[in-house]
Amino acid sequence: MLFERFNNRDTPNTLHATLGATDKGDLPFVYHHLKKGCILQLSTITGADARHLMFGVNYGSYRLGVLSSLQAKRVLDLENRGLPYRLTISRIEKEKYMPPTAIEVELEWGEEPLARVA
């Protein structure tokens, strides 16, 4: 299930959203390594007609979930324009000793290259 949450923390060069499909990924195997500020990688997911483009969010080789549609559209726009961007974890909701129930990610972009650390 994909859902988006908009908040007032979004600035002109950042966008926050909650990852979708976290229950279908590798989260139970890697959640103890995740913390605020971890830089995440994106992998492209296409349908049979190659038009329904989505992005899977990975931590190393582990799939965490799927990027929201709003952030996916922004990433496509940034890639088409050749601008640098970075995806980091901004908040993790979880109970002690249990896998996260929600992960909020922050997409940052700018004209200048972004630092590898958040």
Q: Residue 100 belongs to a domain with what CATH number?
A: 3.30.70.2330
Within a domain: residue 21? yes
Within a domain: residue 5? no
Within a domain: residue 24? yes
3-state secondary structure the chain: CCCCCCCCCCCCCEEEEECECHHHCCHHHHHHHCCCCCEEEEEEECCCCCCCCEEEEEECCEEEEECCHHHHHHHHHHHHHCCCEEEEEEEEECCCCCCCCEEEEEEEECCCCCCCCC
Tally of domains within the chain: 1
Q: What range defines the domain where residue 28 resides?
A: 14-109
The pLDDT, as a whole number, for residue 51 is: 62
The pLDDT, as a whole number, for residue 116 is: 60
Dump pLDDT digits (tens) for 51-68.
Answer: 667 889 999 999 998 998
The pLDDT, as a whole number, for residue 95 is: 87
The pLDDT, as a whole number, for residue 53 is: 74
Within a domain: residue 65? yes
Instruction: Show pLDDT as tens, one digit a residue, over the chain (118 residues).
Output: 344 444 445 567 888 888 888 888 888 888 888 999 999 999 888 766 666 678 899 999 999 989 988 888 888 888 888 899 999 999 999 888 888 888 999 999 887 766 665 4
Within a domain: residue 114? no
The pLDDT, as a whole number, for residue 41 is: 93
